[in-house]
Structure 1
Amino acid sequence: MIRVLIADDEPEFRDYMVHLVDWASFGFEICGQARTGVEAVELAVSMNPQIALLDINMPAMDGIAAAEKLKQLNSDICIALVTGYSEFDYARRAIKLGVEDYVLKPFRRDELLAAMLKFKLIIQKKEEDAAQAKDDAFFAKERLLNALITDGFETVEEEFLRFFRRLGVAVDANYYVVASIEIDQLFQLWLKPHDISLWRFAVANVLGDLDPPGNHHLIFNGPEGRIISIHCYSSEDALRAANHEIYEQLCAYAKKFFRFTVTIGISNAANHLRGIRNAYFETAIALQNKLTVGIGRHIAYRSMQDSAGGFGYYPMKLNEQVLSALRRNEADELKEALEQIKAYIVSHPTSADLTYAMIMSLVSICLSHITELRGDILHILGEDFRPFQHIKKVTSLDESFTWLTFIFTETIRHFRVQKMSRLQKIVKDVQAYIAIHYEDSEMSVEQISHHFHLDSSYIRKAFARELSTTVTEYMTQVRMKQARQFMDTADMKLQELSERVGYTDAGYFSKVFKKQFGLSPSEYAGKKEHVDK
């Protein structure tokens, strides 16, 4: 509901405005009533209204002065001055001071409602713009942070730092320590992408809360379902003083309160931005050894080096080749990458446990890919798909890689057969929803996104990419097309017609209709009658 503050020194007129319209049915709530401008400002501090209706002539502080104060408190508040004809010029001049509209006494219900609906559109547009800007900044930040740990870091370091500063992210430091957090058995615990995203968000939040204030710490979603943490240190002393206590606390917290375990791989320190990528690979290697040291704990790459003298694990570039081929649905290229991994394992013998970890890391790549594309793992790989149980039953490396080749090729086959892209399907579903619900005046991008359990920003981007238009513009097109069809086939009054296509205000509907077809409804009707005769 949009919060509305009313200020007028006449109680009868305040009561008149309160009961003139069924405000709730139009999405408004009267959050406060004031007798003077001073009271209006005081109420605004506690109520934070989005719209204020102010009488010009009030004791102690008039409407103009109150409007100025309210704008200082909240520059986004929409203000309409309620005034008599004698103060008309005064009210009109106030528009230049930031007041959005004025209403002349005495006014009819439709006149006040028109001003309020205009304000509603202004507020909704600002909220949509703010949400879009927030989404764009979030995804830009995630892309740049992921570029640090992948091949995406191709620019010079100083230019990269400038990109981060524009987004308000400080990454310049002398030393960096990377940690990769995995929710153990992530894709076995939850199959729905929404559930997976929710628990990753919860783990990242807890990690941020555990970190002491003042630490320079970046947390973001990384590849393969991991949560990535980068601690930035300004000096060797700060690096030496650092410990892994927060990671121990995170493991304990997840086990106690979330009822699952997390395993964390921690890198050696990198001394420049370009070293962060290698540091991330160190965390991945540490994680791939969790089956040899146990889950639900943190594993430092340095400790693994000290105890094992290094790792006989195949180059991480091969995992990247597997993922790249999978994303491009290239079955032959993927089989070749799997053969290279198998050949490397054969030529660099290691323990059975570590081989098991290598195989499961490849399974994780496949399942992450399916989840990212919102696929159904059990539908694609079979209702009896149980990777942990299956891998424990295999007796040879050949059998393991035969099984791996099967699940990867089945995944590729599924997404090849699926002719309609994800974005296309979302757009078609939303189009069908709009075609059914165009009469609902409360229909909005947020309502549609709630119905489909998607982020509103994702639906907006889908429409922009697939139809080169916005969801709001598409809704308008559907409503206007339906309005013209009604006018061609039925005899309706303007108010009835506008309500039938989702507009509560007939005047606003007329403006939209004329913008769409170049004729007002009355002009269109007149032209139609002339043609019919």
Structure 2
Amino acid sequence: MRVLVADDETSVRKFVNFVVTKHCPGVSIVGEASNGKQAIAQGLSLHPDVLLTDIRMPEVDGIAAAKQLKRQLPHLQIVFLTAYEEFDYAREAVALKAQNYLVKPVRVDELKGVLQQCADNLRKRELGNSLVLTMTSIVRETQPYLRSYLMGQLLNGDITNRGYKRLIQIIGSQLCPSFLVVLKSEYVLTEHGCLWHALQALCKSNREIITSSPTKGGAVLLVRTHAERGSTEDAMWIRQWAEGIRSDLETRLKTRITIGVGGVAQNASDIPRSYHQAQLALSFEFILGRGNVITLRDIISDRPENLYLLPLESELAGSIQNGSCEKALHHLERLLKKIESIAHRSPEVARQFLQNLVHIIVGAAEEQGAKDLNLLDDYVSRVKLANTFSQAAQELKQLTSSVVSISQSRKQEGNLDAIRRAISFVESNYDKKLTLESVAKNVYLSPCYFSRLFKKETGVNFARYVSLVRINTAKKLLLERRLSIKEVAGKVGYNDPRYFSYTFKKLTGILPSEYK
């Protein structure tokens, strides 16, 4: 491991050289600097693994030098040296993701320990790089199978937007402004999978195809569009593109090909809907015959209801899950207007849509954890027995308001319970290493959400709360007088008595020795 030492005191640099030479085999000092400017120049020239630097130095201080080198050498590990009275400054420096800090005068065992830790980190990184190369090779070999599996997950709605981005990375493409799911189907099967072989050749030569997956008698393609989402140009482009693909395949395979085109998908959650729309379009081959490109616009005049209501139903469910009553009722009103227009043509179809809304509203709430609503059968019956459309609509509005209120209440109860469990965990484990991430994981919340929620419910941030619990416990132990300050520090989770004293004074105004 290669170390660059930066300190304006010659004695410190000699001390580090002595410790490394005598106690640290495998570690070498590749350069020395007496100020930050020299440290930057030598760091960029020598590419060390570790920068051991004082904070206060002439010309350029250690923090500024470390920042500049870290930008150019992202894997550089940084260890700061600091005097005790500069402790606050050192703690701020740790925000640079420094490996550690050492308080002067530095002890031999402390320096050995920190350098050993840096060496361990370097070995782990090298091992990680090796594993990445191995895994990259494995992924490359299994890519066709992985692509097929992930496409199946994507079409079934079992993959998140994050997973979708990973899929795009795996197949080696770029995220595009908008996507269309295109279903290709051949009902007169060719021998030996000729359709799929032809499509594979087509995918390599056609930049618009992001990825593809075989299906029985055909294939599903994800296609990037170039025009504005949902625009007339977009619809014209996809039809022309699909016609060209259909003509090309029919020429190669000497058989009729039918293509069904779904609606625009702006993200991963839209793709299952677009896929089902493409299947719906394809089913109109029964009416329009083989050898056609069938898009939503071709069938929208016959079956507008399902196509128009799906996005609105999704927005309604999302608003309920987000706990927004105002937005949920707004989306419900829009849905009811659409269904009311259907009712003028077919009252029974409209009544069925209204009953389906009950399932959507209750289901959205249950997905948020409200499992015991017991409202489904009751409201389905109310809507079914409603004498007028307005009466059924009123029942749905009442149901929506109720489930949003219940969902909010359950969510609040869950949040309070999570914070109570976190507090109990801290009070039982204050003598151990506690991090925001570990406690958040213990109560099944993301660290970011847990941090905000903890501050909201307790009035203090998590780190300060842990410190308060530890210092209050330390006060009780100090009053017993039989324990030394070092022993008390260890019992409340502080390995460094000096940092314990610093924290104690910061929270109480006096040192532990004065308190004792």
Q: Which has the higher contact order (CA 8 A, sep 6+)?
A: 1
TM-score after normalising by structure 2: 0.49
TM-score after normalising by structure 1: 0.48
